[in-house]
């Protein structure tokens, strides 16, 4: 209102127009400059470009490209209505931007030990893994298979429904770039938490799916 009063009362031939748009609010994002400044001044973060900060330089250090942010803004548009955008929308834009150009890697965050009992102790073999599933030009890398493996805890369920297509008691699954394994024994700690799976493997399935049965 003050801006409009000045432009109306000052000797300006063609007063400029001002349109105030709503702030871009994103779930899990702190967008208040006052609160962000407090984090920096109190040394909670390492500066404005700390990867935990919801700033452009912070997101750049997290690996977010300008193309992803532009796609995010173009998808949302601008509005004068106060709204809250789910962070999933931003993550989708980042994922779509990185998908065709970034090599793949596998990471286990919550490990569950798997022992392949019928695989020789001390033996290791290398398997070829694609760096990108749909772009052979990005090459490949070597992965090692051995008697002891680690999988995500979520990839095994003891009381699994029919719709669960990962490991379960007496169930078979083909490991990516490797063999079909079958759960034979579930080992738990005194509290009943699953700590280890004892499995067997099918030596004929390293590079192919078995022809005599259906395996997930």
- Residue 212's pLDDT is what? 86
- Residue 68's pLDDT is what? 97
Half-sphere exposure of 79 toward its Cβ, with a 13 Å CA cutoff? Answer: 12
CA distance 167 to 215: 11
Q: With 90 as the cut, is the pLDDT of residue 88 above it?
A: yes
Q: With 80 as the cut, is the pLDDT of residue 1 above it?
A: no
- Residue 156's pLDDT is what? 95
- Residue 211's pLDDT is what? 87
Residues contacting 59, CB < 8 A, separation 6+:
51, 69
What phi, psi does 208 have (nearest 5°)?
A: -140, 160
Q: Which residue has tokens 């900060």?
A: 53
- Residue 108's pLDDT is what? 95
Instruction: Choose between 8 and 154: higher pLDDT.
Output: 154
Q: Rounded to the nearest 5 degrees, what angle is found at the Cα of 56, between the Cα atoms of 55 and 58?
A: 65
Residues contacting 201, CB < 8 A, separation 6+:
116, 118, 119, 179, 180, 181, 182
The pLDDT tens digits for 132-159 are: 999 999 999 999 999 999 999 999 999 9
Of 85, 68, 71, 74, the closest CA to residue 24 belongs to 85
The pLDDT tens digits for 90-122 are: 999 999 999 999 999 999 999 999 999 999 999
């Amino acid at each position: 209102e003050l801006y409009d009063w000045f432009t109306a009362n000052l000797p300006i031939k063609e007063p400029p127009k001002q349109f105030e748009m709503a702030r871009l609010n994103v779930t899990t994002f702190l967008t208040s400059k006052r609160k962000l400044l407090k984090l920096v001044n109190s040394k909670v973060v390492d500066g404005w470009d700390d990867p935990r900060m919801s700033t452009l330089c912070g997101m750049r250090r997290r690996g977010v490209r300008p193309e992803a942010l532009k796609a995010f803004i173009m998808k949302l548009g601008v509005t004068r209505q106060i709204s809250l955008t789910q962070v999933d929308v931003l993550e989708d834009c980042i994922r779509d931007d990185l998908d065709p150009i970034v090599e793949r890697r596998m990471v286990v965050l919550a490990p569950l030990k798997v022992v392949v009992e019928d695989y020789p102790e001390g033996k290791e073999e290398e398997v070829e893994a694609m760096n990108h599933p749909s772009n052979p030009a990005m090459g490949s890398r070597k992965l090692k298979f051995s008697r002891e493996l680690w999988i995500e805890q979520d990839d095994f369920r003891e009381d699994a429904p029919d719709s669960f297509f990962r490991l379960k008691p007496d169930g078979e699954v083909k490991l990516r770039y490797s063999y079909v394994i079958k759960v034979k024994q579930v080992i738990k700690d005194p509290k009943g938490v699953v700590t280890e799976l004892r499995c067997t493997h099918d030596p004929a399935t390293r590079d192919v799916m078995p022809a005599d049965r259906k395996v997930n």
